[in-house]
């Protein structure tokens, strides 16, 4: 069976969930060979093996943290030369997409970004994408070179599938371009204790109907009861009620959680573009004619100031 390279997103050896999801998808198209880079790369092996990696190509070097993406592209290219894989899979973060694009260019390959599913095909892996503000679902395959495909978080369930996960040192020589852009400082983002918006299994979002920054506490309380991330519509962000880092939509982040709860959001096309691939969508809106109700699985016509606190209380009661 052909091997498939999986780029590992990890923090000091702790593998992030989107990579484990990638391993589930990679197993459909070949034998996953993980590529782990930077500090703690070797420490990822046990987790990766548990989720199906037959091999872990690891390389630790200061360059991965000290410079922007090029050292990682160099390493993936080296792994590609060593393995001759049937595909290269990368998590669909901003960094992942840049790595994928640069790698595809170097390999003379086609690239597919933001896939939401992956299956085998007669002529290589077939990727599903949700395009044009989620108005169409397309299936595509790369017709030139080794397919390089980025996959959105939450596109597959994490499934344990124990494999050998033998660690092998990857030999990488950095290109002249690798040290072209140095990271000069880092400021850790203040942690809210909530999951990362694009990776969260549940997202609770508030819009103009929340009517003020001070009322976003209601949205946060519901999110915390569910262990969810908080999102916001552009109207709420533009009003200064919530940070732009939490904006969901065409000019914000694209999320695809198991559950998306929209409160006081009308469902404009630009908002839908960022959340329409969510598995289950719930809306709370006092206007029964709001367009968001066209795409929901469950809708509550009501005032969010009545509904959201009751929902939070109910979730907390059932948890307790
Ligand atoms: C180029 C471009 C890019 C854009 N990018 C984005 C983007 O990335 N993300 C995004 O979200 N938007 C984006 N927009 C803006 C988008 O068109 C909408 O204006 C925006 O999504 C509206 O936000 P909203 O639903 O919160 O507000 P509104 O459309 O004003 O809807 C508010 C809703 O709250 C309901 N409501 C009010 N009070 C209550 C209450 N007490 N209880 C329950 N319901 C209540 C109302 O019935 C209404 O349906 C973009 C627009 C453009 C032109």
Residue 191 has what pLDDT? 84
- What percentage of residues in the chain have a pLDDT greater than 90? 94
Residue 135 has what pLDDT? 79
Segment (H or E) for 101: helix 94-107
Residue 58 has pLDDT above 80, yes or no: yes
φ, ψ of residue 255 to 5 degrees: the values are: -120, 155
Distances (CA, A) of 130 to 67, 168, 315: 32, 36, 31
Which residues touch 306 (CB under 8 Å, ≥6 apart)? none
What spacing in Å lies between the alpha carbon of 278 and ligand 1's midpoint?
18
At residue 320 the predicted structure's pLDDT band, cuts being 50, 70 and 90, is confident
183-200 mean pLDDT = 91
What spacing in Å lies between the alpha carbon of 292 and ligand 1's midpoint?
10
Residue 133 has pLDDT above 80, yes or no: no
Tens digits of residue pLDDT in 63-84: 999 999 999 999 999 999 999 9
What spacing in Å lies between the alpha carbon of 31 and ligand 1's midpoint?
44
**How much is the mean pLDDT over the chain?**
96
Which residues touch 252 (CB under 8 Å, ≥6 apart)? 234, 237, 244, 246, 274
Atom of ligand 1 nearest to the CA of 305: 41
Report the alpha-carbon distance of residue 122 to residue 89 in Å, rounded: 18
Residue 1 has pLDDT above 80, yes or no: no
Residue 173 has pLDDT above 90, yes or no: yes
215-222 mean pLDDT = 98
Tens digits of residue pLDDT in 263-282: 999 999 999 999 998 999 99
Considering the entire predicted model, what is its pTM?
Answer: 0.86
Atom of ligand 1 nearest to the CA of 290: 49
Report the alpha-carbon distance of residue 126 to residue 138 in Å, rounded: 10
At residue 131 the predicted structure's pLDDT band, cuts being 50, 70 and 90, is confident
What spacing in Å lies between the alpha carbon of 204 and ligand 1's midpoint?
15
Percent helix, strand, coil in the chain, to 5, is: 35, 25, 40
* Token pair recorded at residue 225: 């009861």
- What percentage of residues in the chain have a pLDDT greater than 70? 100
Candidate of 218, 250, 260, 267 to mutate for ligand 1, largest count of ligand atoms within 8 Å of Cβ: 250
Number of other residues whose CB lies within 10 A of the CB of residue 257: 26
291-314 mean pLDDT = 97
Buried b (16+ CB within 10 A) or exposed e, 178-203: beeeeeeeeeeeeeeebbebbbbbbb
Report the alpha-carbon distance of residue 35 to residue 79 in Å, rounded: 7
* Token pair recorded at residue 191: 């942690």
Write down the H helix ranges in 17-93: 17-29, 45-50, 63-66, 70-83
């Amino acid at each position: 069976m052909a091997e498939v390279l999986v780029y590992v997103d990890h923090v000091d050896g702790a593998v992030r969930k989107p990579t484990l999801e990638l391993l589930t998808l990679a197993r459909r198209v070949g034998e996953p060979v993980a590529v782990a880079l930077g500090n703690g790369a070797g420490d990822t092996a046990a987790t990766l093996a548990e989720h199906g990696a037959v091999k872990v190509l690891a390389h630790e070097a200061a360059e991965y943290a000290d410079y922007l993406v090029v050292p990682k592209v160099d390493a993936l290219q080296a792994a590609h030369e060593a393995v001759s894989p049937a595909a290269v899979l990368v998590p669909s973060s901003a960094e992942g997409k840049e790595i994928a694009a640069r790698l595809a260019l170097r390999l003379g390959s086609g690239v597919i970004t933001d896939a939401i599913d992956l299956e085998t095909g007669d002529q290589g892996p077939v990727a599903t994408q949700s395009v044009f503000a989620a108005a169409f679902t397309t299936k595509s395959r790369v017709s030139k070179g080794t397919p390089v495909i980025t996959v959105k978080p939450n596109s597959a369930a994490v499934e344990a599938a124990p494999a050998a996960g033998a660690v092998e040192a990857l030999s990488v020589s950095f290109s002249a371009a690798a040290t072209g852009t140095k990271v000069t400082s880092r400021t850790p983002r203040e942690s809210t204790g909530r999951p990362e918006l694009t990776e969260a299994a549940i997202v609770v979002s508030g819009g103009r109907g929340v009517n003020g920054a001070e009322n976003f506490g209601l949205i946060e309380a519901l999110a915390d009861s569910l262990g969810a991330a908080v999102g916001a519509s552009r109207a709420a962000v533009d009003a200064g009620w919530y940070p732009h880092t939490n904006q969901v939509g065409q000019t914000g982040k694209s999320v695809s959680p198991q559950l998306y709860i929209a409160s006081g959001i009308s469902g404009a096309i630009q908002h839908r573009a960022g959340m329409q691939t969510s598995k289950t969508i719930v809306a709370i809106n006092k206007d029964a004619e709001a367009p968001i109700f066209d795409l929901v699985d469950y809708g509550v016509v009501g005032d969010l100031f009545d509904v959201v606190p009751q929902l939070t209380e109910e979730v907390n009661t059932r948890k307790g």
